[in-house]
Amino acid sequence: MYVIGLDFGTTSTKAIVFDKRGNAVSEHGVEYPILTPNPGWAELDPEIIYVAAITSLRVALSRVKSSEVVAIGLSTAMHSLILMDELNQPLTRVITWADNRSDEQAHVLKQSTLGKQIYLRTGTPIHPMSPLCKIMWFKENEPELFKQTHKFISIKEYLLFRWFGQFITDFSVASATGLLNLQSLEYDSDALQTAGIKKEQLSTLVPTTYVLQGLSDEVAEAVHIRREIPVVIGASDGCLANLGIGAMNRGEVGITIGTSGAIRTVTPKPITDPSERTFCYALAENHWVVGGATNNGGLLLRWFKEQFARELSYEKLTEEAGKVGVGSEGLFCLPYLSGERAPIWNAHARGCYVGMALHHKREHFARSAMEGVIYAIFGVGKALQQLAGDFGSLRASGGFVQSKLGCQILADVFGTEVIVPENPQSSGWGAAILALFAIGEIPRIDYYCGEDSHTHTYAPHSDNHIKYQQFYTVYEEIYNQLSNTFEKIAEIQGIKKE
């Protein structure tokens, strides 16, 4: 028996075939480019993602008997937006979470009392990533296109329409739009009015365990799978990552550091932050994911490698960085190459090194970059602790934590044990688990959480933790001192806030 997790990401779509124990027996992914037609914009071609999903499924399924696959579960990146016309054709590309064109709309709304009320009810921070702010941008800047729009949907909704002919969305993806009231699980009237749309222009809301059957003939034939295979609508990738790594109980915290980064915990009811630092998204009944995301994770290390260490592998680069002591001998890195989300929610924040001296070499800069990424995650973690309580353990996933040095820095900064689960495909496995639960193959959503399967555990070094706590206060100080300067730099770079 097999189950598939199909994960629609920002830079690739991947299909992973799992056995019932969570072992990945086959997988295939297709990468695609992020399109940047204007400064601050970040788009994807929906047709390319559609083809990537078909290709990923077909190749992954070719290595197993498709008759033994019991279900497909879906995972998707959050905050995407596509405008569709009345003939159900896309009027735009996919506007991704990384798109900052609605910075002005987010800024104005965030300064208002209404903005805070909408956040407290919807759990989605007011930020250019939010589909609410993106829709406001179209209303103000593309009024004719806005009037032509019949539906405002996400990339997963687009694919489900192509597959099943229905416009539906799960509570998890909807809860990341800024348009869903977390208490009523209905679209929020104030948010709709602010966006200037009607609820009929949004997809029908369903639970994350909703099962669809009756794939289109085109998709079934292209993938070589039966039309009636159960397809479970699933949830957003961040929520599913916690499920996939087993961070589902009180005190268990999931950290994912891939291109970006996030820290999350699961609570039995929705929790929002009066200081508006964190998000709250739905996973399943009585399971809410509270946390915060940073824009800059492995993205920073990739940028550093491409600019200054192209001849080195990531393994060699982190090996170099490991020769440098804690704190990089007084060199600090603010990792904000693409602005920042939690906890500062400043799209105008910029990356920089502070403290450079003649004794600093490439390895100092590499380690400082890694420390900067962890400091950013730690800042979100502090806010999360205030809302949801102390951490018992950290479960980490993503490309960044495949580095032993990265995991050790993470343990030392937090002062908490870090567990790296055996299965690196956290969101895909989470989607597969949810699918197994939805079709009745497992009795509860946290069925796998009691299993202690992990490859490495990293214990914090107390001396290093004490040092990092001191260094983190300097890191915070540097940002606070430079926050006003970042506004001026953003204006010079052409991203002016009205």
Strands, DSSP E only, in 9-81?
12-19, 24-31, 43-44, 69-76
The share of the chain scoring above pLDDT 70, in percent, equals 98
Predicted TM-score (pTM) of this structure: 0.92
From the list 157, 138, 150, the residue with the least C-alpha distance to 78 is 157
Domains and CATH numbers, the chain: 2-238 (3.30.420.40)
Q: What is the per-residue pLDDT for 14?
A: 97
**Beta 393-397 vs 211-212: how paired, if at all?**
unpaired
- Predicted confidence (pLDDT) per residue in 48-69, tens digit: 999 999 999 999 999 999 999 9
- Contact in structure between 231 and 163 (CB atoms under 8 Å): yes
Residue that is written with structure tokens 């999360």 in the block: 384
Q: Which residue has 């949004």 as its token pair?
A: 202
pLDDT of the residue at 498: 40
Token representation of residue 239: 């929520």
Q: How far is residue 472's CA from residue 378's CA, in Å, rounded to a whole number?
A: 9
78, pLDDT greater than 90: yes
Strands 43-44 and 261-267: unpaired
Can you tell me the distance from the alpha carbon of 439 to that of 240, in angstroms, rounded to the nearest whole number?
17
- Looking at residue 154, the DSSP 8-state letter turns out to be -
Q: In terms of pLDDT, which residue wins out, 451 or 363?
A: 363
pLDDT value at residue 398: 86
- Determine the pLDDT at residue 496: 52
The pLDDT tens digits for 380-439 are 999 999 999 888 889 998 888 889 999 999 999 999 999 998 776 889 999 999 999 999
CA–CA dist 158, 153 (Å, integer): 7
Arithmetic mean of pLDDT, 24-52: 95
Tens digit of pLDDT for each residue in 456-487?
899 999 999 999 999 999 999 999 999 999 99
> What is the pairing mode between strands 287-294 and 151-153?
unpaired
* Whole-angstrom distance, CA of residue 188 vs CA of residue 121: 8
How many other C-beta atoms can be found within 10 angstroms of the C-beta atom of residue 364? 25
Q: Which residues contact 245 (CB under 8 A, 6 or more apart)?
A: 254, 395, 396, 397, 421, 423, 426, 430
